Amino acid sequence: MYNFIGKLLLVLLVLSVFVSALSLYASRVSLTRNVWLSGHFANVLDFFFLPLKYFFCKFSDPRKLDKWMVSLKNSAHMSDFAKTKKRLMFVPHCMRSLDCPAYATKYGIQCRSCGKCVFDQLKEDAEKYGYEFYIVTGSSFVKNILKDRRADGVLVIACDYEINKGMRSLAGTGIVTYGIPMLNDGCYNTKVDEVFVAETLQKFSQNELK
């Protein structure tokens, strides 16, 4: 009996390693092209996230795992996100100007459109395509906003780590997520490709989908 259980556990272990490796390969490929069954591969990586995170921390760079997973999930969510009607855009406060005059509320930083940083243009583009725009300083702000604002789609601009974290936390909630990684990480003076953001918003606009 114990011999059978041991063999079964070994088979499950080998199968888990194989499926995880295949999903990692699919996530790496998703950086350059669409991947078939990307949603299933993304679910596998979410299920094995903790051991995979440990492996990357030990033998590689954990930022790679987050980058690959965000790319894979974007591929998996693209079609469903395009069908969403009520969308929110979350952007991180680390892109704000160091002398930003805006104040904070429970819904995040309230942009005053002073023109000192990228938020002025991002806010304008977001509202142009029907997104509610929020500058957040942490996950607690996101929770407050989603508690009071109904949405079926959320577009996140952040580092890959934060995007992947947000995607994992919203999985199974009925909210479709899509992420745009910043050009650099950090706690301040971070940047995003504004042209790419505008192109992404246009791609998902209702006019483009008709």
Domain limits, the chain: 1-79, 83-210
**What percent of the chain clears pLDDT 70, i.e. is strictly above it?**
95
Mean pLDDT calculated for residue range 172-181? 93
Q: How far apart are CA 39 and CA 75, in angstroms?
A: 8
DSSP designation for 100:
-
Q: What's the pLDDT at 114? A: 80
Question: If you average pLDDT over residues 183-196, what whole number do you get?
Answer: 88
Range 11-18 average pLDDT: 86
Pairing of strands 176-181, 153-158: parallel
Distance (Å, whole) CA 4 – CA 10: 10
**Residue 4 pLDDT class (50, 70, 90 cuts):** low
Q: Give the right CATH number for 83-210 from 1.10.150, 3.30.450, 3.40.50, 1.10.3470.
A: 3.40.50
Tell me the pTM: 0.88
Instruction: Provide the CB-side half-sphere exposure for 111 (13 A, CA).
Output: 26
Question: What angle do helix axes 62-82 and 49-59 make, rounded to 10 degrees?
Answer: 140
Burial of 70 (0-12, 13-18, 19+ CB in 10 A): buried
CA angle 203, 89, 140 (to 5 degrees): 155
At residue 11 the predicted structure's pLDDT band, cuts being 50, 70 and 90, is confident
For residues 194-204, average pLDDT: 93
Return all residues near 203 (Cβ < 8 A) that are at least 6 apart.
none
